Amino acid sequence: MNEQQLIATARSLMQAGKGLLAMDESNPTCNKRFAKLGIPQTEEARRAWRELILTTPGLSEFISGAILYDETIRQSKNDGTAFIKLLMEAGIVPGIKVDTGTKDLAGHPGEKITEGLDGLRERLSEYREMGARFAKWRAVISIGEGIPSRGCLETNAHALARYAALCQETALVPIVEPEVLMEGDHTLEQCARVTEAVLHTVFSQLYLQGVLFEGMILKPNMVLPGKDCPIQAGIEDVADATVSCLLRAVPGAVPGVAFLSGGQNAELASARLNAMNARWRSRMPWDLTFSFSRAIQQPALDAWKGQDVNRMAAQKALYHRAKCNSMARRGEYRGEMEKP
């Protein structure tokens, strides 16, 4: 086993004051976001967007690792420098999304299973040779009438655990991402119950597959009421519900928890992460940070709009969100930071 290497990589991803930048949207997801802003949905536009992100001055002050997509890990700056080289030179650890997306789970209407296990060992070796040092796999769980089912939780947890074991065999730190979705009118308490059940199931499967907890990172959802729930929770309620849930289900041997943003407003995501760190730091055995995609990229994408004249404004917006989230990771974020 590559224990020492895995532990060292996981520690460097969780280093003080930093978090992960998720820029691993699949082409269809990236295109959807581009379409909303009238940006051409071409490989060159996606490359230009990723170059803008990766050349943001000072990004590595707040970002320890970046999660790439298969297309992106093979792309380069317009001067020919490979993106992966840019990252390494900046001291940002390169990572790669390795699941191939979700499909309907047979026999379970309304539920999904994440695919990508076939041929995964070979793909992981290729990515490692290219320079990746960690990987990501996302499972999605919906809350609704009679769901999630036990069958959905067990199959998704099993796939996550098989993926994580294969990653560790290849000396890649697995980011284990079971996402309970915000879609629906469920309450905060329902989300807490489901998230806790998901995490217990995932860690039980990780244990069965021999995954080294010290050499992995958990990427969960925050515990939130559904988007359509009439009662929306306050920042501190979300922080308390989320950390209480993690304390019950996440082993202390896991070095870090890095949240997904899941469609939350960018400033709220920072405020909620901040409240968790400010209120609970002394009680938590793991570090709590961010691994946001939308909540870190969207303000910058809105500023860019696909036009080169907006490049600097977009980089400024990205730097600002990275800084706010870095402060939140320390429990030192203040709403005043958002004022122009």
Active-site positions read 177, 219
Helix, strand or coil, per DSSP, at residue 81:
coil
Only one of the segments 85-93, 101-109, 292-300, 320-328 lies at the binding site for ligand 13P (rule: CB under 6 A); that segment is 292-300
Q: Give yes or no for a contact between 272 and 233, defined as CB atoms under 8 angstroms apart.
A: no
Cβ proximity to ligand 13P: between 184 and 262 the closer is: 262
Q: Is 7 left (phi over 0), alpha (psi -120 to 50) or beta?
A: alpha
User: At its nearest, how many Å lie between ligand 13P and the CB of residue 29?
Assistant: 9
Q: Which of 293, 315, 325, 326 binds ligand 13P (CB under 6 A)?
A: 293
What's the rounded Cα separation, in Å, for the pair 211 and 222?
Answer: 24
Non-local CB neighbours of 40 within 8 Å, separated by 6+ positions: 34, 306
Judged by beta carbon, residue 56 or residue 264, the one nearer ligand 13P is 264
Count of residues of this chain found to bind ligand 13P when the rule CB under 6 A is applied: 11
Among residues 295, 314, 317, 324, the one that binds ligand 13P under rule CB under 6 A: 295
C-beta of 117 vs 312, nearer to ligand 13P: 117
Among residues 77 and 177, whose Cβ is nearest to ligand 13P?
177
Query: Judged by CB under 6 A, which of 33, 46, 133, 138 binds ligand 13P?
Result: 138
Among 292, 304, 324, 325, binds ligand 13P (CB under 6 A): 292
User: What is the DSSP track for 47-106?
Assistant: HHHHHHHHT-TTGGGTEEEEEE-HHHHT-B-TTS-BHHHHHHHHTPEEEEE----EEEPT
**Distance separating alpha carbons of residues 48 and 152, to the nearest angstrom:** 38
Token reading at 168: 């560790």
Least separation, in Å, of the C-beta of 285 and ligand 13P?
24
148 touches ligand 13P (CB under 6 A): no
The SS3 call for residue 321 is helix
For ligand 13P, the closer CB: 62 or 292: 292
Residues 16-35 that bind ligand 13P (CB under 6 A): 22, 24
Site for ligand 13P in 233-262 (CB under 6 A): 260-262
Reduce the DSSP state of residue 64 to 3 states and report it.
strand
Segment contacting ligand 13P by CB under 6 A, of 80-88, 188-196, 290-298, 317-325: 290-298
Give the separation between CA 68 and CA 83, rounded to whole angstroms.
10
Q: What span, in angstroms and rounded, lies between the C-alpha atoms of 68 and 101?
A: 15
As given in the structure block, the two tokens for residue 169 are 């065999």
- Site residues (vs ligand 13P, CB under 6 A): 22, 24, 138, 177, 260-262, 292-295
